[in-house]
Amino acid sequence: MSAATKAKVLATARRLDYVVSPDAVRLAGGPTRRVALAVPHLERWFFGEMVSGIETVLSAAHFDLLLYQVGGPDDRHDFFTRLPARRKVDAVVVVAFPVDQHEQERLALMGVSIIAAGGQNADYPYVCIDDYRAGRLAVDHLLELGHRRIAMIAAHDPDQPGWPARPGRSAAYVDALTEAGIAVDHALIRDVDWGGLNAASAMADILDAAPEHAPTAVFAHSDELALGAIRTLRRRGLRIPDDVSVVGIDDHPLAALTDLTTVHQSVREQGEIAARLVLETLNPSPTADGGVPTAVTAPVTLTVRASTGPAPDRRRPTAATADDSPR
Amino acid sequence: MSAATKAKVLATARRLDYVVSPDAVRLAGGPTRRVALAVPHLERWFFGEMVSGIETVLSAAHFDLLLYQVGGPDDRHDFFTRLPARRKVDAVVVVAFPVDQHEQERLALMGVSIIAAGGQNADYPYVCIDDYRAGRLAVDHLLELGHRRIAMIAAHDPDQPGWPARPGRSAAYVDALTEAGIAVDHALIRDVDWGGLNAASAMADILDAAPEHAPTAVFAHSDELALGAIRTLRRRGLRIPDDVSVVGIDDHPLAALTDLTTVHQSVREQGEIAARLVLETLNPSPTADGGVPTAVTAPVTLTVRASTGPAPDRRRPTAATADDSPR
């Protein structure tokens, strides 16, 4: 443990009125060859894929993985209060949820390395995508197809307030529209609790709110939201993409099955990178100059499938030059 | 540890040329308050949901969970050869994969309790659904709607040969058709490697193989397979359920989103039950008469949505009595 980390741990401990046992700190920093994962929602594809990638690399390095689910407020409070992984692990990987100031202080008490996977968190080494860039790829694609009335279905997890994916993706939408000279219309924006069925309701709301100015395209913050929107559109008799184009983010396995245009991210690869950040932090490679890497931005790419097409007016004969003049 | 288990462990150890340390056996049976999960595919919904249910109950009982992914032949060989969980856990939960004779002997060497979740395995206490019953609910539903040309898309995992879900669900199909006086037509049956895109190809094969006798319904062994079949049917211009009905098994979260009729199982609940089997095995309740439960069959229920409807001939005016005479 570096002197700086030690000082930080002790300072935090004093403030929290803790007595830190030197033995415990040594033990916690010792070679348990175990790594803890704190994960909000194991049953969701993103998290399963991430944990799978982390496990593959760490088990090959003969590390064991301790799994802690911290999705709900109770689990989360319990995890940070009891610190069940304390003295049992060499490192903790925090998977895609925001760690608040108090929780950071609790983690510091463990005296172990912390890595953030699937999102940036405090000053921990991290791997994640650039949410703004992912959003721009999606919205710019719709703009290039000639869409100007573009709805957005954003999502938040009420149990993880402040998670940066939503503001990043939303800012991309606002900027892309603004740069294209399109006023942001709040009647076309909904922010829902995570989940496809909520997105289906949000889509119905949007259609009902402005029946005379229905959107010709929808940008959903994730593929599951996009599939929810598509359900509503289909039930209203709207054709995809003839009447409405829909784009998501993730490239969930069902996106290929449902012909959904989306922004691809490799979540498994992010998990593998997070695991390598753990290994490198615990045992810095002698050949690496400049020390341990602390930030990896995983690539995102637009994957065009059948759920997006030219804006309806672009398909009229008079708009035959659409392909030559993408906006 | 019972005398019988001890004798079995020692006999197995002798045969495998192992020297079993009495200390190690005692340690392995001691109160580590850790449970190992051996899971084939964390990135698939079924497994994530199962692990989530197990974690919820065990963490509430202040147990830690060690996670081992054993999907591919290499992982699996490594897990059973190295027994990385040995001396580290009180119990192992084997999640939905078949443990062969050699692997059972390796597990016995650990001298800990073994629980099977999501499938029956050797003589371990288990929780799972009745695959035959799930299959019957799906196929009987199609028969009651008047379908007689019913395709089946079954799935196997090449890395987990011998898993009982497939034969159970397939036997249900054969029996249901036979009882209804319908000859089983092998041109309507495909067995694919797990995954929606493979099911999409299988559906295309079935349609191409017998274009003049296309099925009016499809029974898929899982929802993801059903969604793959639907993709192909839609691309061929077939309407669902007007031209072809499709039913799956699972009630995957996207089944509700895609209006898929399916056989519901609560995988999370099976995970919670598996965890309670662990707790009960490690610390039998004094109030339970008859000892520790060893087998729990989780319920399955038919969930009818918009992907199934009357067979095309049932919708003709002359078949108006269909509703009164379900077969």
CB contacts of B257 in chain A (<8 Å) are: 196-197, 200, 224, 227-228, 231
A207's CB contacts (< 8 A; 6+ apart) are A214, A232, A233, A236
Could you tell me where the beta strands, DSSP code E, fall in chain A? Answer: 34-39, 64-69, 91-95, 113-117, 126-129, 150-156, 189-193, 217-220, 245-250, 261-265, 295-298, 300-303
The whole-angstrom distance between residue A45's C-alpha and the CA centroid of its chain comes to 12
Minimum CA–CA partner of A39 in chain B: B52
pLDDT at A114: 95
Q: What is the pLDDT of residue B219?
A: 98
Q: Are B157 and B221 in contact (CB under 8 A)?
A: no
Report which secondary-structure segment, H or E, holds B82: helix B73-82
CA-based torsion, A226, A228, A231, A233: positive or negative? negative
Q: Looking at the predicted structure, is the pLDDT value of residue A24 above 70?
A: no
Contact B120, B147 (CB under 8 A): no
- What's the 3-state SS for chain A? CCHHHHHHHHHHHHHCCCCCCHHHHHHHHCCCCEEEEEECCCCCHHHHHHHHHHHHHHHHCCCEEEEEECCCHHHHHHHHHHCCCCCCCCEEEEECCCCCHHHHHHHHHHCCEEEEECCCCCCCCEEEECHHHHHHHHHHHHHHCCCCCEEEEEEECCCCCCCCHHHHHHHHHHHHHHHCCCCCCHHHEEEEECCHHHHHHHHHHHHHHCHHHCCCEEEECCHHHHHHHHHHHHHCCCCCCCCCEEEEEECCHHHHHCCCEEEEECHHHHHHHHHHHHHHHHCCCCCCCCCCCCEEEECEEEECCCCCCCCHHHHCHHHHHHHHCCC
Considering only A170-179, A281-290, B51-60, B299-308, which range has the smallest mean pLDDT? A281-290
The least confident of A2-16, A126-140, A199-213 is A2-16
What is the distance in angstroms between the Cα of A6 and the nearest Cα belonging to chain B? 27
pLDDT at B18: 46
Beta-carbon contacts of residue A38 (< 8 Å; ≥ 6 apart): A68, A70, A79, A92, A93, A94, A95, A97
Name the pairing type of β-strands A245-250 and A217-220.
parallel
Cross-strand pairs, A91:
A35, A113
Bridge partners for A248 per DSSP: A262
Judge: A42–B64 Cβ closer than 8 Å, yes or no: no
In a mutagenesis test of the A interface, which of B69, B95, B270 is the best target, namely the one with the most A β-carbons within 10 Å? B69
pLDDT at B153: 98
β-pairing, B261-265 vs B300-303, is antiparallel
Q: What percent of chain A has pLDDT over 90?
A: 66
Q: Which amino acid is at A117?
A: A
Residue B69 pairs in a beta bridge with B39
Q: Of A172 and A288, which is predicted with more confidence?
A: A172
pLDDT value of residue A324: 40
Nearest-Cα distance to chain B for A78, in Å, is 9
Neighbours of A61 (CB within 10 A): 14
Chain A residues touching B228 at Cβ < 8 A: 257
Predicted confidence at residue B208, as pLDDT, reads 95
pLDDT for residue A179 is more than 60: yes
List Cβ<8 Å contacts ≥24 apart for B55-60: B55/A42, B55/A67, B55/A68, B55/A69, B55/B271, B55/B275, B56/A69, B56/B268, B56/B271, B56/B272, B56/B275, B57/B271, B57/B272, B57/B275, B57/B276, B57/B279, B58/B275, B58/B278, B58/B279, B59/A68, B59/A69, B59/A75, B59/A78, B59/A84
Q: Where are the beta strands (DSSP E) in A260-321?
A: 261-265, 295-298, 300-303
Kindly state the tokens that stand for B302: 């038919």
Which residue is closest to B82 within chain A, CA to CA? A62
How many H helices and E strands in chain A? 11, 12
Predicted confidence (pLDDT) at residue A51 exceeds the cutoff of 90:
yes
**In Å, how far from its chain's centre is CA B111?**
27
**Pair of tokens at residue B5:** 């288990």
**Is B43 within 8 Å of A37 when comparing Cβ atoms?**
no
Residue scoring higher pLDDT (A64 or A156): A64
For chain A, the average pLDDT equals 87
Residue B15 is predicted with a pLDDT of 52
Residue of A nearest to B225 (CA): A257
Amino acid at B56: T
Q: Is the minimum CB–CB distance between A200 and chain B shorter than 8 Å? A: yes
- The answer to whether residue A129 scores a pLDDT higher than 50 is yes
More confident of the two residues B206 and A74? B206
User: Would you tell me which residues 114-173 of chain B have a C-beta closer than 8 angstroms to some C-beta of chain A?
Assistant: none
Distance from CA of B44 to the nearest CA of A (A): 7
3-class state of residue A308 by DSSP: coil
Reduced to 3 states (helix: H, G, I; strand: E, B; else coil), residue B155 is strand
Q: Does B74 touch chain A (CB under 8 A)?
A: no
In the block, tokens 């340690």 appear at: B27
Reported residue count of chain B is: 327
Q: Is A161 exposed, middle or buried (0-12, 13-18, 19+ CB in 10 A)?
A: exposed
B95 with B47: CB under 8 angstroms?
yes
Q: How much is the pLDDT for B160?
A: 78
Of the candidates B44, B47, B67, which has its C-beta nearest A67's C-beta?
A: B67
Cβ burial, residue A69 (10 Å; 0-12/13-18/19+): buried
Q: Which has the higher per-residue pLDDT, B22 or A2? A: A2
Two structure tokens written together for A223: 């593929």
CB–CB contact A67 B62 (8 Å):
no
| Residue A288 scores a pLDDT above 70 | no
Rounded CA gap, A8 and A104, in Å?
11
pLDDT of residue A82: 87
Other C-beta atoms within 10 Å of A269: how many?
16
Q: Are A115 and A91 in contact (CB under 8 A)?
A: yes
Question: What average pLDDT values come out for chain B (327 residues) when binned by 10 residues?
Answer: 65 50 42 93 93 96 95 88 90 92 91 92 93 98 98 89 86 98 97 93 95 92 96 95 98 93 97 96 73 86 98 63 40
A165 pLDDT band (50/70/90 cuts)? Answer: confident
pLDDT at A10: 56
**Torsion over CA of B229, B234, B236 and B240, rounded to 10 degrees?**
90
* Contact of A142 with A182, CB cutoff 8 Å: no
Contact B297, B265 (CB under 8 A): no
| pTM of the complete model | 0.86
The distance in angstroms from the start CA to the end CA of chain A is 54
Q: Is A162 exposed, middle or buried (0-12, 13-18, 19+ CB in 10 A)?
A: exposed
How much is the pLDDT for B8?
67
